[in-house]
Amino acid sequence: MASALFSPITLRGLTLPNRVVVSPMCQYNSDEGSATDWHLMHLGSFSLGAAALVMTEMTNVNPAGRITARCAGMYSDQNEAAMKRVIDFCKQYGIAKHGIQLAHAGRKGSTQTPAQGGKPLRPEEGGWRTEAPSALPFAPDWPVPEALTKQEIKKLVEQWVSAAKRAERIGYDLIEMHGGHGYLIHQFLSPISNQRTDEYGGSLENRMRFPLEAFAAVRTVWPADKPMGIRVSATDWMDGGWTPEETVVFARELKKLGCDYMDVSSGGLDPRQKILLAASYQVPFAEKVRKEAGIPTMSVGLITEPKQAEDIIASGKADMIAIARGAMWNPRWAWHAAEVLGADTAYAPKMMACHPKLRPQAFPDRLQPA
């Protein structure tokens, strides 16, 4: 039977030849928000065809929105030029399509890199003022963020729009808004981090207001033939937090605004979360959103095996799967999965010599007599 994982999917004017996506992964290797040679290697390697779509890491719409001083940004001409060089390079040699995850870390910004310990930066270490829906820190020993004024919220929407215009000039095929993992959009959605008393807090409708305004504004400037989705955390894994049921309502509202898919992750809002980790543990959330909101979903998290991924797509639980650590471990994951599942998948022309079916022709002199 034909593989579901290696069947094409069309989102607006973009047709992906298979359902495998390299998940966005922060690299902490940017200078003043600008991509470096590291990104040529990181994204370049994935662009050779192992996955149909390669996501660029969380790329922040303003400097304060960065998690660390080494995080990627899309707020200056330098940021745009540096990332254009990388994506041009990937497209010159590779065959994958490229998406960018636009983001803002909110109260989780201004920290050391994970390699340095991931702790909040003190002012003398270059720490900066973080911004959030409410003046509530991520954890008791973290700096208190400043609650955004309504004027600042408006300005932020403009910054999302400006970053999207830069992404279009760079030549990205898709935009994903980062609405999960406890970052700014998620901070607005969750009643734990959003305790505003104006129209941006309180009821579900109010907590969704900024995320929906930002999404709608970006969708308006992003070309109509290019898809745009969102990553969310479907649950805070906490009593009194954001829930899968609210995620479904959010997905329905986004769909009305032209959202093409929801990438369904979980957690990250509060260190007190109790996550039940297991293989495919986030798949039920993607399935719920897909069935109840009628929107395509991407599932992510501890999906490592070809048959596991095939079953998720074939059983209609999600439309795409994203792989992060598994792709770092094996950047050719999808080529190998295609072999396991008896499917065909594309290789960049310069890589064809390694295709199992073509190896004997490419190197006849290396054939050993039986």
Ligand X SMILES: Cc1cc2nc3c(=O)[nH]c(=O)nc-3n(C[C@H](O)[C@H](O)[C@H](O)COP(=O)(O)O)c2cc1C
Residue from 302, 340, 348, 351 binding ligand X (CB under 6 A): 302
- If the CB atoms of residues 200 and 333 are measured against ligand X, the closer one turns out to be 333
CA distance 52 to 14: 11
3 state DSSP class of 21:
strand
Is position 323 an interface residue for ligand X (rule: CB under 6 A)?
yes
Q: How far is the CB of 181 from ligand X (least distance, A)?
A: 6
Which residues contact residue 239 at a Cβ distance below 8 angstroms, ignoring those fewer than 6 apart? Answer: none
| Radius of gyration of the chain, Cα coordinates, nearest whole angstrom | 21
Pairing of strands 14-16, 9-11: antiparallel
Residue from 25, 64, 177, 234 binding ligand X (CB under 6 A): 25
CA distance 332 to 315: 24
Is position 54 an interface residue for ligand X (rule: CB under 6 A)?
no
Which residues contact residue 134 at a Cβ distance below 8 angstroms, ignoring those fewer than 6 apart? Answer: 147, 193, 194, 195, 196, 201
Q: How far is the CB of 80 from ligand X (least distance, A)?
A: 19
Dmax of the chain from CA atoms?
A: 78
> Which of these segments, 45-53, 244-252, 298-306, 360-368, binds ligand X (CB under 6 A)?
298-306
Q: What is the dihedral of CA 275, 278, 284, 285, to 10 degrees?
A: 40
Q: Which residues pair with 262 in a beta bridge?
A: 230, 297
Which residues contact residue 240 at a Cβ distance below 8 angstroms, ignoring those fewer than 6 apart? Answer: 191, 192
Is position 65 an interface residue for ligand X (rule: CB under 6 A)?
no
> Which of these segments, 148-156, 272-280, 297-305, 334-342, binds ligand X (CB under 6 A)?
297-305
- If the CB atoms of residues 101 and 187 are measured against ligand X, the closer one turns out to be 101
**Nearest C-alpha neighbor of 27 from the set 60, 56, 65:** 56
- If the CB atoms of residues 257 and 302 are measured against ligand X, the closer one turns out to be 302
**Per-residue binding letters, 219-258, with ligand X (x by CB under 6 A):** ------------x---------------------------
**Nearest C-alpha neighbor of 25 from the set 37, 38, 6, 11:** 38
Catalytic residue chosen out of the listed positions 183, 200, 261, 347: 183
- If the CB atoms of residues 98 and 178 are measured against ligand X, the closer one turns out to be 178
> Which of these segments, 134-142, 152-160, 249-257, 301-309, binds ligand X (CB under 6 A)?
301-309
Is position 57 an interface residue for ligand X (rule: CB under 6 A)?
yes
CA distance 247 to 180: 11
Q: How far is the CB of 25 from ligand X (least distance, A)?
A: 4
183 is catalytic: yes
Q: How far is the CB of 124 from ligand X (least distance, A)?
A: 27
CA distance 280 to 83: 32
Residues numbered 90 to 109 that lie near ligand X (CB under 6 A) are 101
Is position 24 an interface residue for ligand X (rule: CB under 6 A)?
yes
- Residues of this chain that interact with ligand X (CB under 6 A) are 23-26, 57-58, 101, 178, 181, 231, 265, 300-303, 323-326
Catalytic center residues: 183
